[in-house]
A and B are shown apart, each in its own frame.
Chain A
Amino acid sequence: VQPPEKPLQAEEWNRLRESFQSPEIFEEVMFNSMVRYNSPIDVAKSLLTHVAKSNGDIAYNLLLKYLALCVQQGQTSEIRDVYDIMKIRFRILESGAYNLLIKGLSNSDEWRMALTLLEEVKKIMIPSRINYESCIKAASRHQEMNLAFELYHEMLAKDLVPTLDILQAFFDFSRGMKGAELQKELFGILLYLRENQIYPHKTFMRSIKLWFESIPGGNWRGHLTNIKDSGQCPVCNHQLEDSDLTEEEYHNLRERIIRDVIHGTDTFRKTSPQEFEAFQTFVENRLPFDIVIDGLNVSHIKPRRLQCENLFDAVNCLAKDNARLLVLGRKHMLINSSNWKREIMKEMQNKADFFFAENISEDDAFLLYATLRSGQHCKFVTRDFLRDHKACLSDSLTRHLFRKWQRGHQISKKMFLSAFIQQPAFSYDCVVQTTGDTWHIPYKDLFEEKYSYRVPRKWLCIQQQ
């Protein structure tokens, strides 16, 4: 339904209502479309008046929709009025109304009232991160940075993940402001990005850059750049952090992989205790490997060729510099078949160590174990993103470690004609990083660009002169 353009009289509303196919939901539908078409507020008022006069009351959901319309158009005084009415009419309000009220009031001069509403919400439930976003933005818009940061820390304490908009607002509104405390807080946000492996988008990156350059007496300069494959920044010649884990992190990750991925709730789900033990002794006796290959995954890269030929190419290509190879496979590969020729398999076994798991076992888990057991220098080859294994890890910290390790150690590969081309793992870590007088911040070109496996190639280099 198209809402009318001008306020209507009661009879006119009545007529409209009669002509509507299901009159009992007429008001609801009408209000919905008013919100959609952003109708003038007077039209909505006239409908409300009509409803009030004919029923002597207005249902909560209609008030809510009217409120949505007011918020959409920034009608502060109306928002206040609706709030007053709701307050007398109903003992408590629910989250939907609070969301709208907070959003509406935080954009107005009465933004402090949004804060009191936030307090009210806290009494009945945990506020959403959008609620916090509104309040934090309002506070920082009015240069009350302390208040804004207080709210920010409060939401972090409640395990809410701040939106990128919140973080960006801090940088936008702190521009040109002095204060060591403030600087520390903003550096804290950058470290938050680092710890959670969040990449800012382009506009956010620009806010960061502008803030840095606006610090009074800071002499910061920002440049956009691409990092070389070697991990060197072309602007300041600074070498970026490598993606190696610390000894402790590495150890933790290995333990967690064994505990959560290989054993999980039941060792029998992915392998069996006997098999895992056999594999462990197999690996211990042949350590360390340089490259671990997921045989079955590699054997599928070119669908037109025989699977064993694909694998043969990969092994040949990787075996060049006397690298110690381990190929993981399943027992069915040993049976002479159209896809797995015995002679080729034999020849490969001269060049690399092979471990064949049971046909119903998961070889990926073994891949991770063997690579981690061999040490930091060891890489692995698979096209698999290993998402399901990452998902088995129980906490986000270990998952981040896993991702970092995966970035540095997984060799992804391209097939180019018949040649097997290695795409080396990243030699540097793609994460926000600092040395005190330089900052390097990777950023995404687009706001939506979001593949968990793809890391940004563009960087913001900030240095102090």
Chain B
Amino acid sequence: MQSANVLLKKIIRNSVLPFAAQHGMKKDLFPLSRTLSLSLCLKQDNSASPSGKLDLDAWKKVMKSGLQEEVSETVSEQKELSTLAAAREILEMWRLAGRSVPENITEEQLKTFMECPSKSAKKKYLKYLHLKELYKKNDKRKMDEKRERRLETQKQASETGETKRNSFVCLWANAMDKAYSWRVAQSMIFGQPLIFDMSYEKDMSVREVANTVRQIVLSEGCNRRSVDPFHIHFCNLKDDSLYHKEFIKHYRGAWGKLLITVTDQCYTDIFPKDKLIYLTADSPKVMKTFDHDKIYIVGSMVDKSIKTGVSLARAKRLGLETAALPLEKYLLWNSGAKNLTLDQMMHILLTLKDTGDWKKALEFVPKRKYCGFVSRPVHELKKTLNLINTLKLGKRQEEARRQFAKNYSKKLTQK
């Protein structure tokens, strides 16, 4: 061992390069100068190895060396960068620093980023892009995995020589589409109208409009697949509005072929006022039953900043009747705003239309927002809740329990 060491030292002293080569340094990766400096550090290490002395600044040499060619590159490159390119570089540095920044960013996104009014807005936008990118990557990975699996099973199937026998030609999707279209076409003649009020563009940010349109596209999809669809109207939809652009982005060629009514007129111009009911969470009136003769209006608005009373104001201005869903009456509300997304509204309205069953309809309210369904009148439920609380607190435990038992037995006998 000792002799080997001596030998090594000799070699190092004699020439540096062979040593590096011997040790399998990543020679091809590094330019000459770095190898040199690295091996020099190694040499120092070796000479002091028994005592375990470390050259603590060795990393600096590594970082400083081997960069000559890169430096010259930067010098030769033009110094002036356009603001966009500069922003791109900053983003790259942020990514290296470990912030949530997307790997790839388009020109358009970069411009939006630059137009953000504040630092926090910029940060938020970048995080949004970053998450979007992550989701996309994940989806792609899953798709690839799926494809591989499918290929494998196909291979196995071909190996075993088994073929599937099927009486139907595989035209399911196509046939279903046709059937759905028939139904929606019928509803356009005989169906109950449902209005989306597209007049909130100026109350929303660009991203909110995009979200709104996405929700409406989902709603339209679920309406199309329902047994008895609504006849959907998009009212107050101006050409070349943001809404319109977003719709075309989503539907592309299908936009012209959708079985819905699109108009830039207001609903009050199309329908008699006394038939219209504006649905808004701010309404003081609570909906009791679903009326098949009325025409319900849903405001196409996503308000992340909780602008209360915007749609109620609109209905007030036009002198329309308003209504809110009876969420309080049927659900023990937990947290979250009472305004629901447009597709949830659509699910709820469709279910009400088909069944009239509130419990079934309100299943579509997100579960996180409520604790459970109210099976008994609310005040009674609150009484039990209070009882439970006193039990928890341990105050007059026995008495409370007795009372609870008494109440409970009374209820049983009543039934």
- On A, residues with C-beta under 8 Å from B are 7, 9, 28, 42, 45-46, 48-49, 51-53, 56-61, 64, 81, 84-85, 88-97, 124-126, 128, 265-270, 272, 359-360
Nearest CB on A from B75, distance (A): 11
Contact A269 B310 (CB under 8 A): yes
B317 within 8 A of A: yes
Contact A360 B93 (CB under 8 A): no
Residue contacts A-B, CB under 8 angstroms, 25 given:
A42-B56, A45-B59, A49-B55, A49-B56, A49-B58, A52-B63, A58-B59, A58-B62, A60-B93, A84-B64, A85-B60, A85-B64, A88-B67, A89-B67, A91-B89, A96-B94, A96-B99, A125-B119, A265-B203, A266-B314, A268-B314, A268-B317, A269-B309, A360-B312, A360-B316
Among A88, A93, A126, A128, the most chain B Cβ lie within 10 Å of the Cβ of A88
Which of B54, B90, B97, B310 interacts with A92 by CB under 8 Å?
A: B90
B313 within 8 A of A: yes
Contact B93 A90 (CB under 8 A): yes
Nearest CB on B from A392, distance (A): 12
B253 within 8 A of A: no
For A128, what are the chain B residues with a Cβ–Cβ distance below 8 Å?
119
Which of B55, B93, B310 interacts with A94 by CB under 8 Å?
A: B93
Per the bound structure, the CA–CA distance linking A94 and B99 in Å amounts to 11
Contact A124 B90 (CB under 8 A): yes
For A58, what are the chain B residues with a Cβ–Cβ distance below 8 Å?
59, 62-63
Q: What 1/0 flags go to B277-300 for Cβ under 8 Å of A?
A: 000000010000000000000000
B98 within 8 A of A: yes
Per the bound structure, the CA–CA distance linking A126 and B90 in Å amounts to 13
The number of A-B residue pairs with CB atoms under 8 Å apart is 111
Q: In chain B between 49 and 89, which residues have their CB closer than 8 angstroms to a CB of chain A?
A: 52, 54-60, 62-64, 66-67, 70-71, 74, 86, 89
User: A49-B55, A97-B93 known; 13 other A-B pairs, CB under 8 Å?
Assistant: A9-B52, A42-B56, A45-B57, A49-B57, A51-B59, A56-B66, A85-B60, A85-B64, A90-B96, A94-B94, A124-B86, A266-B313, A269-B310
What are the 6 A-B residue pairs with the smallest beta carbon separation, nearest first? A268-B313, A94-B93, A60-B96, A52-B59, A45-B56, A52-B62
Contact A269 B312 (CB under 8 A): yes
In this complex, what residue of B is CB-closest to A97?
B97
Per the bound structure, the CA–CA distance linking A28 and B314 in Å amounts to 54
For A53, what are the chain B residues with a Cβ–Cβ distance below 8 Å?
38, 41, 58-59, 62
Contact A49 B54 (CB under 8 A): yes
Per the bound structure, the CA–CA distance linking A124 and B93 in Å amounts to 12
Nearest CB on A from B36, distance (A): 13
B170 within 8 A of A: no
Q: In chain B between 293 and 338, which residues have their CB closer than 8 angstroms to a CB of chain A?
A: 308-310, 312-314, 316-317
Nearest CB on B from A130, distance (A): 12
For B309, what are the chain A residues with a Cβ–Cβ distance below 8 Å?
269-270
Q: Tell me the interface secondary structure of chain B in the complex.
A: helix
For A84, what are the chain B residues with a Cβ–Cβ distance below 8 Å?
64
For B63, what are the chain A residues with a Cβ–Cβ distance below 8 Å?
52, 57-58, 85, 88-89
Contact A56 B62 (CB under 8 A): yes
B30 within 8 A of A: yes
> Interface extent on B, as a size class?
35 or more
Which of B41, B74, B313 interacts with A269 by CB under 8 Å?
A: B313
Contact B284 A52 (CB under 8 A): no
Nearest CB on B from A126, distance (A): 8
Among B41, B55, B67, B313, the most chain A Cβ lie within 10 Å of the Cβ of B313
For A56, what are the chain B residues with a Cβ–Cβ distance below 8 Å?
26, 29-30, 34, 38, 62, 66
Contact A94 B64 (CB under 8 A): no
Contact A88 B64 (CB under 8 A): yes
Contact A81 B60 (CB under 8 A): yes
Which of B30, B96, B316 interacts with A272 by CB under 8 Å?
A: B316
Per the bound structure, the CA–CA distance linking A270 and B282 in Å amounts to 12
Among A7, A93, A269, the most chain B Cβ lie within 10 Å of the Cβ of A269
For A125, what are the chain B residues with a Cβ–Cβ distance below 8 Å?
90, 119
Per the bound structure, the CA–CA distance linking A52 and B97 in Å amounts to 18
For B119, what are the chain A residues with a Cβ–Cβ distance below 8 Å?
125-126, 128
For B70, what are the chain A residues with a Cβ–Cβ distance below 8 Å?
88
Q: What 1/0 flags go to B97-108 for Cβ under 8 Å of A?
A: 111000000000
For B52, what are the chain A residues with a Cβ–Cβ distance below 8 Å?
9
In this complex, what residue of B is CB-closest to A61?
B98
Per the bound structure, the CA–CA distance linking A7 and B74 in Å amounts to 36
Contact A59 B96 (CB under 8 A): yes
Per the bound structure, the CA–CA distance linking A7 and B62 in Å amounts to 18
Contact B71 A88 (CB under 8 A): yes
Q: In chain B between 80 and 137, which residues have their CB closer than 8 angstroms to a CB of chain A?
A: 86, 89-90, 93-94, 96-99, 119
For B67, what are the chain A residues with a Cβ–Cβ distance below 8 Å?
88-89
Per the bound structure, the CA–CA distance linking A268 and B313 in Å amounts to 5
Per the bound structure, the CA–CA distance linking A354 and B350 in Å amounts to 46
Nearest CB on A from B35, distance (A): 10
Contact B56 A46 (CB under 8 A): yes
Per the bound structure, the CA–CA distance linking A192 and B385 in Å amounts to 54
Among B29, B38, B86, B316, the most chain A Cβ lie within 10 Å of the Cβ of B316
Nearest CB on A from B60, distance (A): 6
Among B38, B57, B63, the most chain A Cβ lie within 10 Å of the Cβ of B63
Per the bound structure, the CA–CA distance linking A124 and B88 in Å amounts to 11
